[in-house]
Chain A
Amino acid sequence: MVKSIMEGHVIVCGYGTVGQKVIDVLYEHSVHFVVIELDPKKVEHLRELGYNVIEGDATYSKTLKSAGIDNAKAIAVVMDDDAKNLFTVLAAHDINKRLFIAARANDDFVREKLIEAGADYIVMPQRAASKEIVSELLKTKA
């Protein structure tokens, strides 16, 4: 259970590559955050790093509540699994309607569903990478 005094924090669901980078940015700018992760090894690693971690499944309301979702500013739902992300977005939106929900999607179809479920901002790894590549190509004019 996260300290009850925590307020205006960010919840990061999933400590994969995307989650790791989100945490790096938040840590660098001294933003308070809580990580929800199912894998005990990753949980152990995060604890060693001194981060706030909840071991559990982010798709359950109970887990989200124990991460202090009622007082949170935003949630980043960035697990590898599109279905899990969708369930988590639905659960988070049901608990706290004022919460800013950012989620990861792997394809356009899921992107639409996440928005319908209550997500405010969607990030798609392929789209983000493609954008970077195209801007690099446009710099390389012959």
Chain B
Amino acid sequence: MAQLGEMDGSENITAWVIIIMIACAALFALLSIAIVALVTHNLYAASYYTISALFDANGESSSTFIAAVLNSGTYNGAFYIVMAISLLDGLAKAVIVGFLIAAFINLLSGIDIKSALDVITAKRQKDHIIVCGYSMLAERLCKDLARDNLRFVIIDNDPAKVGTLRDLKFNVIDGDFTRRPILESASLKNARAVIFATESDFVNLLGIVTAHHMYPDVKIIARAKQVANVTKMQRGGAALCLVPEVVAGLELGEHILKL
């Protein structure tokens, strides 16, 4: 998935389509002027009325163009030729305007509007929770947060996961959470807590250090795979660091004791 502000091939193609359409419009106009000038022997009138008719400028339309040419005094008949030229103008105008509108819509649809909207929404969040990395733990966590009406923003750089999360109507930021601008775009400054939940202890530690250095007051919660890494994560700035398997083992042990 393209990062914000990045352009892919489709936008370049659209730009070329617009350029070609404008060139065609200019070519049509020149051709029209040339034909009308040849028939009427008046280059100024030909240019003025052709361009006016083509763009409907100054309230001029094809009919006023015909009337003007017929009344110019320099024309010696052949109404049908003028009519044909006028129709050519109208046709060219319709085709060019149609293509331009289509190209413009295509250009707009190429912009990652969803991504931009997600960032705008995330930036306005306050007292929210930032979930970094959409792992199995994060999946469970998001369900629990939603159940308890806690607002959250997810950051992940896997396009497939980001797409799925957007389909689920989650507020998701596509990016690498170990980078400061990405955490800023999730409004880390105003967050209640940030949770690093990936399967990699190293990536989680990078996130912890980055977030703690940016805003030391924001609570950091992290998941660790290895028990030995819990202390390192706590030293890095994590207020709570847990290994899901340890929590599960303790819970199960306590339950057996009650038998």
Contacts and interface: CB of A to CB of B under 8 A. Distances in A.
A104 B248 contact: yes
B246 interface: yes
Given A129-B244, A132-B247, A17 B227 contact: yes
Nearest to A20: B249
B252 A130 contact: no
Contact of B252 (A104, A129, A134, A138): A104
A85 B223 CA distance: 24
Contact of B248 (A26, A128, A137, A140): A128
A25 interface: yes
B140 A18 contact: no
B6 interface: no
B245 A16 contact: yes
A134 B145 CA distance: 7
A47 interface: no
Contacts of B139: 126
B192 interface: yes
B233 interface: no
Interface in B77-123: none
A136 B137 contact: no
A123 B257 contact: no
A23 B227 CA distance: 16
A103 to B, nearest CB: 9
A58 interface: no
Contacts of A26: 253, 256-257
A72 to B, nearest CB: 11
A133 B195 contact: yes
Contact of A10 (B145, B221, B223, B256): B256
Nearest to B126: A142
B248 A18 contact: yes
Given A128-B247, A130-B141, A131-B144, A136 B252 contact: no
A33 B253 CA distance: 12
A35 interface: no
A125 B253 contact: no
Interface string B204-248: 000000000000000101010001000000000000101111111
B238 to A, nearest CB: 12
B193 interface: yes
A133 B252 CA distance: 18
A22 interface: yes
A22 B259 contact: no
Given A124-B140, A129-B243, 18 more contacts: A21-B246, A22-B249, A24-B249, A25-B256, A74-B256, A74-B259, A100-B256, A102-B252, A104-B252, A107-B136, A121-B255, A126-B139, A126-B140, A126-B244, A130-B140, A133-B144, A134-B148, A137-B221
13 contacts: A18-B249, A21-B248, A22-B253, A24-B249, A78-B252, A102-B255, A121-B255, A124-B140, A129-B140, A130-B141, A137-B150, A137-B192, A140-B219
Which are the 3 A-B pairs with shortest beta-carbon distances?
A21-B249, A25-B253, A125-B244
